Amino acid sequence: MNRMPPPQALAAGRTLVAVLLVTAGCLLPQAFAYEGSYPFRATATVGMVADIVREVAGDRAEVTGIIGAGVDPHMYSPTRSDVAMLLRSDIVFYAGLLLEGQMTEILAKVGRSRPVVAVTERLKQADLIHTAQTGHQDPHVWMDVSGWMKAVRVVRDALTGFDPANAAEYQTRSERYLLELKTLDDYARKVISSIPEDQRVMVTAHDAFNYMGRAYNIEVMGIQGVSTESEAGLKDINRIVDDIVRRKIPAVFVESSVSDKNVKALIEGAKARGHSVRIGGELFSDAMGKAGTYEGTYVGMIDHNVTLIARALGGDAPETGMQGKLTPPR
């Protein structure tokens, strides 16, 4: 059973602040503007969100991410020190759409005394993918770079509302970052479309890639559902093995934040039926790579994913990616 409050409960807790911040901008009463010293303290849940805040806020904010490399946000319960950190923050950002399902309550609580902003809050129905299985929207919006660019604009506007004195800086930095993301979006489209059409299908540990599939025209199959909370059954595995064997799919992918147990079961299942399929590599689905590396940034994460997928499925992409910065596979 799901004991979490419905998403509306959280929304209600922050609506007033978010609406003021995001839509009112310069209409904020003077008393609302940040008046402390710099850097102010910004906290973000997942790395992909923390990365946007770092890019847009620059030196104005000291940004801390709570959910690190290799950690699954669907199942993440905040620790006592996370809670203390959130309560010390001047502003908080999270992905939303119930990605951080176990943090709903604490985010609502923290939102009573400071801005708490969901970066996906301005996405429209048409931007989102509805999941019949969970009855919710699929939260993995960052897998489509153009969708994530909308999140950058939400962060820009939230920072502008919070700290209007530095609005021009947030504008300049977000414009520069959006240009970089546009280049990334073009690269992703180009390399995925180079995969021969009958092999343009990616099998992964959980359903994190629906937005990538829609944006870049590649079929996706996840063994587990949209949230890792659901267990994969033998029937799901057998069904995907059938597809792999029938369509002679050459590679399947593991994910850095999800166990590889089910993917290995697929490979064994295909082998028993005379089809050899290999692990095409490890994708970053819900967490970025190690902090301090190129793969530990949003751009590096997506560059890694699309480059690896294209190369493993017979497409054409340089081994070191879009800008020669990827660590080649060992």
* Rg of the chain taking only CA atoms, in angstroms: 20
Return the number of the residue (174 or 285) whose C-beta is nearest Zn ion.
285
What's the closest the beta carbon of residue 297 comes to Zn ion, in angstroms? 19
Closer CB to Zn ion, 56 or 208, in the complex: 208
Q: How far is the CB of 183 from Zn ion (least distance, A)?
A: 26
For residue 179, the 8-state DSSP code is H
Could you tell me the sign of the dihedral formed by the alpha carbons of 104, 110, 116, 122, in that order?
positive
Three-state DSSP state, 316: coil
CB of 107 to Zn ion, least distance (A): 18
Long-range contacts of 80-88 (CB under 8 A, 24+ apart): 82/106, 85/43, 86/43, 86/110, 88/41
Interface with Zn ion (CB under 5 A): 208, 286
Nearer to Zn ion, 100 or 286 (CB): 286
Nearest to 200 by CA among 319, 313, 318, 279: 313
Nearer to Zn ion, 18 or 141 (CB): 141
Looking at the Cβ atoms of 225 and 315, the one nearer to Zn ion is 225
- DSSP for 67-83? E-TT--GGGPPPPHHHH
Residues 173 and 236: their CA atoms lie apart, in Å, by 45
Phi and psi torsions of 48, nearest 5°: -65, -35
- Taking the complex as a whole, how short is the minimal distance between the CB of residue 225 and Zn ion, in angstroms? 9
Q: How far is the CB of 207 from Zn ion (least distance, A)?
A: 7
Decide whether 89 or 305 has the Cβ nearer to Zn ion. Answer: 305
Q: How far is the CB of 285 from Zn ion (least distance, A)?
A: 6
User: How do strand 278-283 and strand 251-255 relate by DSSP bridges?
Assistant: parallel
